[in-house]
Structure 1
Amino acid sequence: MAEVELLAGVLSKTGDVMEGVGADQMSLPTPCDDYDVEALIQHIVGWLRVFEANCHGRTYEADLADHPCGADPAGEFRTAAAGVIAGWEKYGFDRQVAVTGSQLPGEAVFGMTVMEYLTHGWDLAVATGQPIPFTEQEAAEALSRAEGMLLPEYRGVGMAFGEIVPVAADAPAVDRFVAFLGRDPVPTSAR
């Protein structure tokens, strides 16, 4: 799967999940302990704006801790997603990209974006009772990137990622992916 095609698929499916969120679901808890549905949506849109600016060589100036979405968060998300895809297509991966003040290889920032949106798209789908939309191939590629990037020192209490949750080696790729990031996979019967 081509890299930009991978990200475009993940972002499109995450946008679909956002569109499926009901107004009465905003206060529901999510698998991402720090966020209810509304806060997770704000996080998802705010960080996509950061990735969009950064992949175009710009700096995102707004405060990420306080990103209120307007009346159409899914629309905001889709606009930023189109910008992210356009940035990677135009400028490619063989470059340094700034993210929150640090210069990182473009391929690493791209991988972070894939991981971020497959994870939080999954979080949002689980929290709102929607089907998990990601394909085996998308999840397997995200897992491969995560295994190459996510170091043990980023895991544990007070860290960005939890400890790896054990799952069967033949579990669906999306289950292995979210388990690698420290989340309990949702049983297939609950999807």
Structure 2
Amino acid sequence: MDAAFDPRPLFLRSLGQLEKLLTSLAPAHLEKPTPCQEYNLRMLLSHTIGAIHRIAYIGEGGRGMDLPAQVGEVADTDWTGAAARVRARATAAWAEDAKLDREVEVPWGLATGRIALSGYVMETVTHSWDIAQVIAPEAELDEELALAALGIAQQVLPADRRGPEVPFGAVQPVPADADAYTRLAGWLGRSL
């Protein structure tokens, strides 16, 4: 990863996309299955918002494993509010440029803030696609975000390094003309 790469603009765009997507959420969607097979939508939203709280906490100086990647109770009608609140927290936590080059502790080990935040770009963009498949499959998601997340995923998660300790399945085949989100989903092991 380029030592001068600043993932914050992509991260903030991914948070904005998630927040916008959640405006289409209806309580009836919450118990539906998602492409992320271990989660129904409520559980996936809890995980996604929780993961963003985790990277905000890391930006505030905390250790990644101190905070679970899930949130507690959120009212069925407040997921957009939960996304807005965590976006504000994460924006403030990563505002200082020097944090990008500090070593931080993330669930997968030690990394610079730049690399850690890049991992959460991948996470947020991927789960936004998962969420969209349930609540708004017709939604036009930001293709540039998917391309950036795919590039990050291909750097940090090579196809040959999958196994029981890695929370991603084997790369799945996708059509040659697949859009960036479909390629990202396939790279991360989603069955399409």
Scaled to the shorter chain, the TM-score interval is 0.7 to 0.9
Question: Which residue matches 2:93?
Answer: 87
Which of 35-44 and 161-170 deviates more? Answer: 161-170
Which of 166, 174, 183 pairs up with 1:176?
A: 183
Over 3 Å counting, the alpha-carbon distance change for 1:82 and 1:16 in structure 2 is same
**Which runs of structure 2 are paired with 1:4-153 in the superposition (5 Å)?**
4-59=8-63, 64=68, 67-71=71-75, 72-91=78-97, 92-100=99-107, 102-152=109-159
Residue 101 of structure 1 and its aligned partner are, at CA, apart by 8.4
Alignment RMSD: 2.6
Look up the SS of the partner of 1:93 in the other structure: helix
Residue 73 of structure 1 and its aligned partner are, at CA, apart by 2.6
Residue 87 of structure 1 and its aligned partner are, at CA, apart by 2.5
Query: Structure 1 vs Structure 2: percent identity of aligned residues?
Result: 28
Over 3 Å counting, the alpha-carbon distance change for 1:154 and 1:55 in structure 2 is farther
Q: Distance in 2 between matches of 1:19 and 1:126?
A: 14
Look up the SS of the partner of 2:110 in the other structure: strand
Please tell me the residue identity of whatever aligns with 1:138. L
Over 3 Å counting, the alpha-carbon distance change for 1:136 and 1:63 in structure 2 is closer
Residue 62 of structure 1 and its aligned partner are, at CA, apart by 7.0
Residue 99 of structure 1 and its aligned partner are, at CA, apart by 2.0
Look up the SS of the partner of 1:103 in the other structure: strand
Question: Which residue matches 1:188?
Answer: none
Runs of at least 5 residues in structure 1 that lack an aligned partner in the other structure: 186-191
Runs of at least 5 residues in structure 2 that lack an aligned partner in the other structure: none
Deviations 1:130-153 (A, max 9, x none): 434432211111111110001446
Deviations 1:39-61 (A, max 9, x none): 11111111111111101213478
Over 3 Å counting, the alpha-carbon distance change for 1:158 and 1:128 in structure 2 is farther
